Amino acid sequence: MLRVSDLHVSYGAINALGGISFEIQRGSIVTLIGGNGAGKTTTLRTVSGLLRAKSGKVEFDGADITALAPHKIVARGLCHVPEGRMIFSNLSVEENLAMGAYLQTDAVRNAANRDYIFSIFPRLKERIHQTAGTLSGGEQQMLAIGRALMGNPKFLMLDEPSLGIAPRLISTIFEKIVEINKTQGITILLVEQNANLALEVSSYAYCLETGQIVMQGESKQLRADPQLKATYLGG
């Protein structure tokens, strides 16, 4: 469904990605793990069009999307839940969800999506008229995911959904991520620093280090890998 080949990205003179390649099968949950500054966020931003690749190719559903503007990529059903959530803090929960459906013209479908989001995140329904900036970190993350779901994605990229969230809510959010994948058939690319959690919910994993993929494999196998254990899983 998504194929990235030999992707190079740099910020000025600094190389952030030194030629990475990976592939994600339809219907799966794949994770990209790695430490700070490994290039995880850069990868997602390049795929969603916020950053331009120096060279290399991003293909989605068989089409080359490397040079497309972000709004055109969203229109194809590839939605990105960015790091730090980036909800519209001065807008209400309702308006945030409406913005998620910016390109969607089917009112019936939008209403169904809203109901589905409220069914998995009932908290959002309780706070529908509240200004989004006043929500807790976990609720903001739910809103960010909900906003992306309003865009009818076929493919969802989540950047650090556990960041800055109460531990109690982290497990809820990850349960819902798995549920979205299972029941809605949405393919998921999950970027996480919390490698343990990410390997638990995913089927396949890529491990990124200073802009290179240094390891990849079935998530189950990587969890047992002694080297990876020592580096990311805390021994």
The one among 74, 143, 158, 228 contacting another protein by CB under 8 A: 74
Looking at the Cβ atoms of 86 and 166, the one nearer to another protein is 86
Tokens of 192: 């996480």
The one among 17, 65, 87, 188 contacting another protein by CB under 8 A: 87
CB of 114 to another protein, least distance (A): 15
The one among 11, 12, 90, 167 contacting another protein by CB under 8 A: 90
- 180 and 186 Cβ atoms separated by less than 8 Å: yes
Up-side HSE of residue 213: CA atoms within 13 Å toward CB? 18
Q: How far apart are CA 152 and CA 49, in angstroms?
A: 18
Look up residue 133 and give its DSSP letter: G
Residues 6+ apart with CB under 8 A from 229: 223, 235
CB of 151 to another protein, least distance (A): 6
The one among 28, 75, 130, 201 contacting another protein by CB under 8 A: 75
Looking at the Cβ atoms of 103 and 111, the one nearer to another protein is 103
Classify burial at 10, counting beta carbons within 10 Å of its beta carbon; exposed 0-12, middle 13-18, buried 19 or more: middle
| Touching another protein, residues 6-65 (CB under 8 A) | 48-50
- 123 and 142 Cβ atoms separated by less than 8 Å: yes
The one among 18, 28, 56, 91 contacting another protein by CB under 8 A: 91
Residue 102 as a binder of another protein (CB under 8 A): the answer is: yes
